[in-house]
Homo-oligomer: A and B are copies of this chain.
Amino acid sequence: MRLYDGGRAPNPRRVRIFLAEKGMQVPVEHIDLASLQHKSAEFTALNPLQRVPVLVLDDGTVITESIAICRYFEGLRPEPLLFGRGATEEALVEMWNRRVELNLYQAVSAVFRHLHPAMKDMESQVPEWGEACRKHALARMSWLDGELARRPYVAGDRFTIADITALVGIDWGRVTKTRIPPECTNLLRWHELVSGRPSARA
């Protein structure tokens, strides 16, 4: 198989952290987003949505979407479990991954897309929406801070895919100065905990 990575972009990092947690190594081809390689005809043939990461299996099957790629690796190597096991646990991990992705990660993403100068030529920016999303992102950090008063990790007592999504989303916020508010002591404690894992350097 071959993983088409995108360097410092957040979604490829989700997959790299996941692989590091699994202790897996996969042949990687680097896609240079700065030179718009993801918009080339060759890459568009792999993913018409022109986004990284992309995983191509040996039989030619193409898997896009970070979480789908992670789920494939979970199927290949279940331990350590990062999506949970059994109906209830799998549902709760899905719930927490979605809660942090749809509420926090996507808000941070929108701040970047709608306010960062690097995205000016690539997207139809709506700065008013970017500013609203910055408020949403900070409000959701406060909400997550309250949740993390009750347990060590986002979805419970163990590190899961939901922690990876939250970590990558929060670190992405640095680019637009959308940072964890200092009063969010539980979230800061969690951030230090998960940032200390070797996988966080991926």
Contacts and interface: CB of A to CB of B under 8 A. Distances in A.
A138 interface: no
5 contacts: A48-B143, A65-B94, A71-B91, A72-B88, A75-B87
In this complex, the interface size class of chain A, counting residues with CB under 8 Å from chain B, is 20 to 34
Interface string A73-100: 0111000000000111011101100110
Interface stretch (A33-41, A56-64, A166-174, A192-200): A56-64
Contacts of A141: none
A176 interface: no
A84 B74 CA distance: 14
Interface string A120-134: 000010101100100
A124 B88 CA distance: 35
A90 B65 contact: no
Copies in the complex: 2
Given A63-B91, A63-B92, 16 more contacts: A48-B143, A48-B146, A49-B99, A63-B88, A63-B95, A64-B99, A65-B95, A68-B92, A68-B98, A71-B91, A74-B87, A75-B86, A126-B128, A126-B129, A128-B128, A129-B129
Given A72-B91, A75-B90, A92-B61, A67 B124 contact: no
B67 A94 contact: yes
Nearest to A114: B129
* Interface SS of A by simple majority: helix
Interface of A: 48-49, 57, 61, 63-65, 67-69, 71-72, 74-76, 86-88, 90-92, 94-95, 98-99, 102-103, 124, 126, 128-129, 132, 143, 146
Contacts of A71: 87, 90-91, 94
